[in-house]
Structure 1
Amino acid sequence: MRHRAAVSHPAEPAPGAFPNRAVLLFLATRPAFLSVTLVACLIGLACAHRSGASIDWTTAVFTLLFALVAHAGVNVINDYHDAESGADAANTKRLFPFTGGSRFIQNGVLSAAETGLFGYALLAAVVPAGLWLAWQAGAGLIVIGIAGLFVGWAYSAPPLKLMSRGLGELAIALGWLAVVVGTDYVQRGSFSVLPFAAGVSYALLVANLLFINQFPDHDGDAAAGKLTLVVRLGPQIAKWGYLLIAILSYTWLVAMVTIHALPQYAAAAAMTLILSFTAARELIADASAPDELAAPIKRTILATNVHGLLLAATLAFAQSGISA
């Protein structure tokens, strides 16, 4: 179902604003959100370093580059399918640039066809790079890569449309855990418990970022039949889900430190619970008032990135011993 585009915000992209085609395409990927993939790669590299692996900076750089390209492709494909469903066009309560997509299609900067072609081209570009990295590191990376690309595609694309089935948060958590595990695997050449132990708390916070972004988008998603968790549960029930996911994240971190799966200093990443719980309090108070959610969304972005950076730093440099 298609919907007429809502009036654009002055800060949103407009036709003719990007005379440089490369800049236009870069901005269409929603680059501000790519930081969560950068941080996930840093966690994976820190895990490998902590276990005594010698970091190969050529493969490390390629891993980071193509993880970012894959994330960019998922973002663009999400824009394409949200345009096809009418969800973004119907979204009049969006908080740009955080929710409601990039607005490149709705504001006439790119056509839907151009956007879809660009998104799938980005994902296709990852395949040869992934095969080369698998040749360097081991066949296990093929499994991780296929799983990651499949989840990224299935998140938005029919027939699965995981986000529309209330499975978006699970898909995001699995996808970003795969980034941590895959980055570690490229350096280590084998699977290890450590990146799983380190990655889960971060992946859950990334999922919470997706989750809180659904609240301003609720009405547009509902009108287009995009049945996210927030649409299925309603804002007043769903708002408690944010707090639950945050509690699960920090509980996992503390548990991993307690059983010595992570170094003691990794508990420093739990300091970001102040940001997450403050955002949860604000969301609980204003779940049905989209205009009031910019602050908790920003806090969630900050909590996620700082949490991951603290994890990476403590894994790389903390001296308390753990087994590899």
Structure 2
Amino acid sequence: MLKILLGVSRINFLTLTLACMLLALAFSLYQGAVLQWLDLVLVLMVALPAHISVNAFNEYFDFRSGLDFLTTKTPFSGGSGTLVAHPQQAKLTLFLAWLSLSIVMVAGLILISRYGWPLLWIGLPGVLIIYTYTQYINRSPLVCLVAPGIGFGLLMTLGAIWVLQQSLVAGAWLLAVIVSLLVSNLLLLNQFPDVTADRQVGRRNYPILLGLEPCAIIFSILHLVALGLLLLGVSLAWLPNHALVALLSAGVLIKLIPGVIRQHSNRHALTSYLGLNVFFIHLYLLLLSAGLFWAAW
């Protein structure tokens, strides 16, 4: 059973949530916040179960729709394949999704009791995205593009900073937008190998609507904008000069962007770039966190 739960949770993808939380912690300490361990634990109790819940709902609904039987799985797209191999565990997966979402709501209510009802502006949209992402959001191209980024950036990362720092300054919003761009781009590229299967079950995303070549250009622009925002933040003194260490990650784009543009339609060749994209996003966030910790200490 544990293997099933870990599979439908996509446990190996939860590092993205941890990277976002590390960034929120680093920025809060840079701003002079005093770490409250209870708040940090509660923030993690919202963030990690939220990611697990959206993954489990995605596994369940993609299994029910038949999509998982149509996709060619890669290590980064096409689902975990857990329910294809163990279809009898579908109800367990749905239970995990609802249980995780319940933990999110309980931990969120505790935070609201500590810091006030305005946190609902983050909590309610987050719960809505978790449940509707697979069934509804994937049928609207623009919402499908921005929803993952909003979830991880403008809700999860910004919300964590709000709790840890108890205020939101310009730099916090800028970091949230950077995370939003990176995560939306992560999901955008992961849609490339699944275009044919996604179209068969009625999904409507930009790779389906516009084609892979234009989306490869959009992908490239979003990553470059995410780097450009860092330069903007430092130039406006919203972020410290130390944060420029994150520009070291730009070296990965020298291989990633041309590779995606060149191999956008070659599923086999594209797989390595899916992995490189995951590496770039994690590296950017970790280096940015390191720069903020450096500035704080």
What is the SS of the residue equivalent to 1:156? coil
Runs of at least 5 residues in structure 1 that lack an aligned partner in the other structure = 1-20
Residue 79 (structure 1) aligned with residue 63 (structure 2): no
Corresponding residue for 1:295? 272
Aligned counterparts of 1:52 and 1:139: Cα–Cα separation in 2: 24
- Give the one of 1, 9, 22 matched to 1:29: 9
Corresponding residue for 1:50? 30
With structure 1 as the length reference, what TM-score do the two structures score? 0.86
**Percent of pairs identical after alignment?**
27
Aligned counterparts of 1:154 and 1:46: Cα–Cα separation in 2: 31
C-alpha contact (below 8 Å) 1:253/1:267 kept by paired residues: yes
Q: CA deviation at 1:109?
A: 4.9
Spell out, residue by residue over 1:97-133, the C-alpha distance to the aligned partner (whole angstroms, 9 max, x if none): 2111111222225443332232122112211111112
Corresponding residue for 2:138? 163
- Give the one of 187, 204, 208 matched to 1:231: 208
Q: CA deviation at 1:202?
A: 2.5
Q: CA deviation at 1:203?
A: 2.4
C-alpha contact (below 8 Å) 2:146/2:180 kept by paired residues: no
Aligned counterparts of 1:273 and 1:162: Cα–Cα separation in 2: 31
Aligned counterparts of 1:148 and 1:193: Cα–Cα separation in 2: 22
Q: Matches of residues 63-78 of structure 1 in structure 2 within 5 Å?
A: 63-78=43-58
Aligned counterparts of 1:238 and 1:277: Cα–Cα separation in 2: 18
With structure 2 as the length reference, what TM-score do the two structures score? 0.93
Corresponding residue for 2:95? 117
What is the SS of the residue equivalent to 2:223? helix
Spell out, residue by residue over 1:213-232, the C-alpha distance to the aligned partner (whole angstroms, 9 max, x if none): 11111111112221121111
- Give the one of 122, 140, 143 matched to 2:121: 143
Aligned counterparts of 1:247 and 1:197: Cα–Cα separation in 2: 15
Larger helix proportion of the pair:
2
Aligned counterparts of 1:171 and 1:278: Cα–Cα separation in 2: 27
Corresponding residue for 2:256? 279
Corresponding residue for 2:73? 94
Q: CA deviation at 1:90?
A: 1.1
What is the SS of the residue equivalent to 2:133? helix
Corresponding residue for 1:38? 18
Corresponding residue for 1:270? 247
Aligned counterparts of 2:218 and 2:239: Cα–Cα separation in 1: 26
Aligned counterparts of 1:294 and 1:216: Cα–Cα separation in 2: 8
Aligned counterparts of 1:213 and 1:187: Cα–Cα separation in 2: 32
C-alpha contact (below 8 Å) 1:137/1:185 kept by paired residues: no
Aligned counterparts of 1:192 and 1:138: Cα–Cα separation in 2: 18
Aligned counterparts of 1:110 and 1:66: Cα–Cα separation in 2: 29
Aligned counterparts of 2:175 and 2:257: Cα–Cα separation in 1: 23
Q: Matches of residues 129-278 of structure 1 in structure 2 within 5 Å?
A: 129-157=107-135, 161-166=136-141, 167-177=143-153, 178-278=155-255
Alignment: residue pair count: 295
1:163 maps to a residue whose letter is N
Q: CA deviation at 1:319?
A: 6.0
Q: CA deviation at 1:277?
A: 4.1
Aligned counterparts of 1:243 and 1:94: Cα–Cα separation in 2: 24
1:83 maps to a residue whose letter is F
What's the Cα RMSD here? Answer: 1.8
Corresponding residue for 1:313? 290
Corresponding residue for 1:304? 281
Spell out, residue by residue over 1:15-63, the C-alpha distance to the aligned partner (whole angstroms, 9 max, x if none): xxxxxx2342123200111111111111111121111111101220221
Spell out, residue by residue over 1:267-319, the C-alpha distance to the aligned partner (whole angstroms, 9 max, x if none): 22122122234222111111111111121111111111111111112122216
Q: CA deviation at 1:162?
A: 1.4
C-alpha contact (below 8 Å) 2:17/2:152 kept by paired residues: yes
Aligned counterparts of 1:205 and 1:104: Cα–Cα separation in 2: 27
C-alpha contact (below 8 Å) 1:198/1:262 kept by paired residues: no
Runs of at least 5 residues in structure 2 that lack an aligned partner in the other structure = none
